[in-house]
Amino acid sequence: MPKILLCFPEGRHKALTLSYDDGTVADRRLIELLGRSGLKGTFHLNSGLFGIPGRLTEEEAAGLYEGHEISAHTLTHPTIARCPREQIVHEIMEDRKGLERLAGYTVRGMSYPNGSFNREIKGMLPSLGIEYSRVVESTGGFGMPDDWLEWKPTCHHKDRLLERTETFLGLHKTQYLYLMYVWGHSYEFDNDNNWELIERFCELAGGHDDIWYATNIQILDYVKAYGQLKFSADMSFVQNPTAGSIWLSVDGRIVEVKGGSRIDLA
CB 155 within 8 Å of CB 138 = yes
Of residues 164, 154, 152, the one with CA closest to residue 200: 164
Q: What's the pLDDT tens digit per position in 109-135?
A: 999 999 999 999 999 999 999 999 999
Q: Summarize the confidence of residues 165-183 as an average pLDDT.
A: 97
Domains of the chain, earliest start first: 13-224 (3.20.20.370), 230-264 (no CATH)
Of residues 34, 5, 13, 20, the one with CA closest to residue 153: 20
CB 91 within 8 Å of CB 82 = no
- Is the pTM here over 0.75, yes or no? yes
d(CA 37, CA 28): 15
Q: What's the pLDDT tens digit per position in 42-55?
A: 999 999 999 999 99
Contacts of residue 138, Cβ cutoff 8 Å, sequence gap at least 6: 152, 153, 154, 155, 156, 159, 183
CB 70 within 8 Å of CB 122 = no
Of residues 171, 228, 156, 159, the one with CA closest to residue 15: 171
Q: Which alpha helices (DSSP H) does 19-133 contain, by range?
A: 27-37, 58-64, 85-103, 119-124
Q: Summarize the confidence of residues 229-236 as an average pLDDT.
A: 97
Q: What percent of the chain has pLDDT over 70?
A: 100
pLDDT of residue 266: 84
Instruction: Please give the mean pLDDT across all residues of the chain.
Output: 98
